[in-house]
Amino acid sequence: MTAESRHSSPPVIRFTDVTLGYDTRVILRDLSLEVNKGEVVALIGGSGSGKTTLLRAATGQIRAQKGTVTVFDQDVNRMTPQQLGAARRRMGVLFQQGALFTDLSVFSNVAFPLRELSNDSEAVILEKVLDKLDQVGLKRAAHLSVSEISGGMARRVALARAIVLEPEIILFDEPFAGLDPISLGMTARLIRSLTDKLGCATVLITHDLEESFLIADQVYMVGDGSLVVSGTPDEVRQSDNSLARQFLKGASSGPVVFEYPPSDDFDRWLSRHREGVK
Ligand SMILES: Nc1ncnc2c1ncn2[C@@H]1O[C@H](COP(=O)(O)OP(=O)(O)OP(=O)(O)O)[C@@H](O)[C@H]1O
């Protein structure tokens, strides 16, 4: 998508001179940012600098103490609970504690939003879930129970669940946490390609500058209670701001397999499941 077409419609998320905090405590002051359709925006900053707080303001979980937050061109502070609910259904959110249902299979976890919020038949759900699991390299882990997968795999399942409804905004809090270097790189590229494919607006909180700078259109860095630097990854990279420089670190790599391997168990599970949804 070109910059021109990207900005032909209003930003999907816009913060204008926003101050955020809890009760009387201010966490971030006078911050402005925007996220456009088709863009990946990386939010970076030290631990406790207010990144998750920003995401909470975008979902209407907390209200701005000052300034305006608009989502889908509507002022979050003025939305009725119904309007807020409707806006949230257009968002996919993957919070740090985006826990999976441990008593359900990988497949059922990803199918959950479709079963709750769509009228899709089980046959359609099967194909959609397998497609999303395939995109995170876990199609052949669909039959496993959550207790049988690693923490990093669980993150990828949670990612598949966050995108299964093909949302217009995707908010990721630390999507790379707990991933090995190969999975991390693939997840970053996946986030970019999903954003391009779905044409959605993506915001990701991350400490991993190397990977996020490869895929982000815009980077916002918060620290010391306000916005420190913003711009394209190159602009932020070239910033002489000491906080920004402190975050830059090298990427590592290792011979780690991303794709979950084929197995007879998976094949049997899939044919049983396909029979069941006919
Ligand atoms: N519900 C809450 N009530 C009061 N204070 C909170 C609440 N949630 C977060 N805070 C405080 O707000 C500040 C910012 O927290 P936030 O979770 O937004 O930081 P963060 O940048 O996402 O951190 P991290 O990278 O460690 O996840 C912290 O000092 C935290 O203690």
Per the CB < 8 A criterion, the answer to whether 277 and 121 are in contact is: yes
Tokens of 229: 């630097």
> According to the model, what pLDDT value does residue 150 have?
86
Q: What value does the mean pLDDT take over residues 29-34?
A: 96
Structure ipTM:
0.97
Q: Is 49 in the pocket of ligand 1 (CB under 6 A)?
A: yes
Q: Is 50 in the pocket of ligand 1 (CB under 6 A)?
A: yes
Residue ID of nearest Cα to ligand 1 atom 31: 48
Q: What value does the mean pLDDT take over residues 252-269?
A: 65
Does some domain include residue 1? Answer: no
C-alpha span between 10 and 8 (Å, rounded): 7
State yes or no: pLDDT of 254 exceeds 50.
no
pLDDT tens-digit series, residues 137-193: 899 999 999 999 988 788 889 889 988 998 999 999 888 877 788 878 888 988 998
Residue 191's nearest CA partner among 7, 56, 38 is: 38
Does some domain include residue 109? Answer: yes
CATH of the domain at 244: 3.40.50.300
253 versus 23: the higher-pLDDT residue is: 23
Lowest mean pLDDT among 1-10, 152-161, 243-252: 243-252
**Pocket-testing residue among 29, 31, 52, ligand 1, by greatest number of atoms within 8 A of Cβ:** 52
> According to the model, what pLDDT value does residue 168 have?
94
Q: Is 51 in the pocket of ligand 1 (CB under 6 A)?
A: yes
Tokens of 177: 């946490």
Give phi and psi for 45, each to the nearest 5.
155, 165
Per the CB < 8 A criterion, the answer to whether 110 and 129 are in contact is: yes
C-alpha span between 107 and 140 (Å, rounded): 10
Q: Is 47 in the pocket of ligand 1 (CB under 6 A)?
A: yes
C-alpha span between 110 and 243 (Å, rounded): 38
C-alpha span between 193 and 215 (Å, rounded): 9
At residue 253 the predicted structure's pLDDT band, cuts being 50, 70 and 90, is very low
Lowest mean pLDDT among 71-75, 205-209, 240-244: 240-244
Does some domain include residue 7? Answer: no
Does some domain include residue 2? Answer: no
Does some domain include residue 4? Answer: no
At residue 128 the predicted structure's pLDDT band, cuts being 50, 70 and 90, is very high
> According to the model, what pLDDT value does residue 262 have?
82
> Residue 74 to residues 68, 86, 87, 157: CA-CA distances in angstroms?
10, 12, 9, 31
> According to the model, what pLDDT value does residue 64 have?
95
Q: Is residue 223 within a helix (H) or strand (E), and if so which, with residue range? A: strand 218-223
* Domain that includes residue 173, residue range: 13-276
Looking at residue 261, the DSSP 8-state letter turns out to be P
Tokens of 276: 């069941």
Q: Is residue 226 within a helix (H) or strand (E), and if so which, with residue range? A: strand 226-231
> According to the model, what pLDDT value does residue 259 have?
66
The alpha carbon of 240 and the centre of ligand 1 are apart by a number of angstroms equal to 27
Residue ID of nearest Cα to ligand 1 atom 25: 47
> Residue 34 to residues 16, 88, 265, 275: CA-CA distances in angstroms?
8, 18, 46, 47
Q: What value does the mean pLDDT take over residues 39-44?
A: 95
**Pocket-testing residue among 29, 51, 243, 247, ligand 1, by greatest number of atoms within 8 A of Cβ:** 51
State yes or no: pLDDT of 45 exceeds 90.
no
Does some domain include residue 8? Answer: no
Does some domain include residue 255? Answer: yes
C-alpha span between 68 and 174 (Å, rounded): 25
**How many other C-beta atoms lie within 10 A of the C-beta of residue 30?**
14
Mean confidence (pLDDT) of the chain: 87
Residue 84's nearest CA partner among 104, 95, 70 is: 70
State yes or no: pLDDT of 134 exceeds 60.
yes
* Total of domains in the chain: 1
At residue 258 the predicted structure's pLDDT band, cuts being 50, 70 and 90, is low
What is the rounded radius of gyration, in angstroms, for the C-alpha atoms of the chain?
A: 19
pLDDT tens-digit series, residues 196-237: 988 999 999 988 888 889 999 999 999 889 998 999 999 998
> According to the model, what pLDDT value does residue 250 have?
33
Does some domain include residue 121? Answer: yes
Q: Coil, strand, or helix at residue 219?
A: strand
> Residue 200 to residues 101, 150, 188: CA-CA distances in angstroms?
26, 29, 15
Q: Is residue 200 within a helix (H) or strand (E), and if so which, with residue range? A: none
Residue ID of nearest Cα to ligand 1 atom 1: 22
Lowest mean pLDDT among 7-11, 36-40, 256-260: 256-260
Q: What is the pTM of this model?
A: 0.82
Residue 26's nearest CA partner among 222, 254, 234 is: 222
